[in-house]
Chain A
């Protein structure tokens, strides 16, 4: 069974540009989570999508947004990029009857803002 997949693996942008990151959850999972891991920091919760709706968001400005598609895949969009947006962006999914709190993570997309 395929795990959580993310693309692109690496992305280089300049300040002010927009970045789009993509995530495909594990088959059967309906919830998708986005986390940011900046240098020296833990995983910071960004967004949670479930059944196509945004259910919760972390303490990030509105230029961080996203959506979930009918097939449960998700996009994270970061507008007006700033240098401090350089980080590893991790997507995770969860779903099914076992609501244990365990998240299954992808390998991440590393965004570099120059």
Chain B
């Protein structure tokens, strides 16, 4: 049972435009959410996180939005750059620092120059 879902396996956007990656979860106990980015032949790297006490967290070009009532979060990248092309994984856990992260299936973002 996939508790974290990324329903779009792929997304293509033009360089300079906004990329919006979506993630839905089913477990209402999740209260900490993370995004990881993965390049081919590399392990996932942490990108940005958000706690359930917030509805937005921003770090440079990356912003994560959390809608707890809808059990939905999204990652906005603006402006998108070709170097952002990668697979993005959404992850969730019960409590910050919890020892089990539940990952989505990933969305492959392609930024077209």
Contact = CB atoms under 8 A, between A and B. Distances in A.
A100 B96 contact: yes
> Interface majority SS on B: helix, strand, loop or mixed?
loop
A101 B101 contact: yes
A43 B97 contact: no
Interface of A: 4, 31, 33, 35, 40-45, 48, 50, 55-56, 58, 90, 92, 99-108
Given A42-B104, A101-B32, A102-B46, A107 B96 contact: no
Interface string B82-113: 00000001010100111111111110000000
Nearest to A3: B43
20 contacts: A4-B43, A35-B103, A40-B105, A42-B106, A43-B101, A43-B103, A45-B100, A48-B99, A48-B100, A56-B99, A99-B96, A100-B49, A100-B96, A101-B32, A101-B34, A101-B49, A101-B93, A101-B98, A103-B101, A107-B41
Interface of B: 2, 4, 6, 32, 34, 36, 41-46, 49, 89, 91, 93, 96-106
Contacts of A103: 46, 101
Contacts of B41: 107
